[in-house]
Structure 1
Amino acid sequence: MAVTEEFVTEVFRGLEKGDGAAFFEHVAENVDWTVEGTHPLAGHYHSKADFVSGTFAKLNKVLPHGAQLMLQHLLVKHDWAVVELRSLATAKNGFRFDNRYCWVVHFKGKIIDQVRAYLDSAMVARLFAENPG
Structure 2
Amino acid sequence: MTPWMSLAVRLQAVALCLMLSTNTVSASQAADQNTNTDLVRQAFTNWQQGQGTAFDLLAPDATWTVSGSSPVSGVYNSKSDLIERAVRPITARLATPISPTVQSIVAEDDVVVVLWKGEAMALDRKPYNNTYLWHMTFKDGQITEVNAFLDTYVLNDLMRRVDPVR
Q: Tell whether the structures are fold-level matches, with TM greater than 0.5.
A: yes
RMSD of aligned residue pairs (Cα, Å): 1.6
Higher helix share: 2
Corresponding residue for 1:6? 38
Shift of 1:70: 2.2
Q: Give 1:13 shift.
A: 2.3
Identity %: 26
1:118 aligns with 2:149: yes
Bigger drift between 62-71 and 6-15 goes to 6-15
Aligned to 1:55: 86
Instruction: Give, in angstroms, the shift of residue 74 of structure 1.
Output: 0.6
Match of 1:66 in 2: 97
d(CA) in 1 for partners of 2:40 and 2:96? 24
CA distance in 1, matches of 2:138, 2:40: 10
Cα 1:90–1:36 change in 2 (3 A) is same
- Look up the match of 1:104: 135
TM-score normalised by L of structure 1: 0.90
Q: Quick one: which of 29, 53, 72 aligns to 1:41?
A: 72
Q: Is the 8 A contact 2:40 2:54 kept in 1?
A: no
Tell me how many residue pairs correspond in the alignment.
132
> Highest Rg: 1 or 2?
2
Q: CA deviation at 1:76?
A: 1.0
TM value normalised by structure 2: 0.73
Greater RCO between the two (CA within 8 Å, min separation 6)? 1
* Cross-structure match for 1:28: 59
Local SS of the residue matching 2:92: helix
Task: Name stretches of at least 5 consecutive residues in structure 1 with no aligned partner.
Answer: none
Moved more, 71-80 or 7-16: 7-16
SS of 1:126's partner is helix
Segments of 5+ residues of structure 2 without an aligned counterpart are: 1-28
Off by >4 Å, runs of 4+ in structure 1? none
Q: Find the residue that maps to 2:101 and give its secondary structure.
A: strand
Structure having the higher strand fraction is: 1
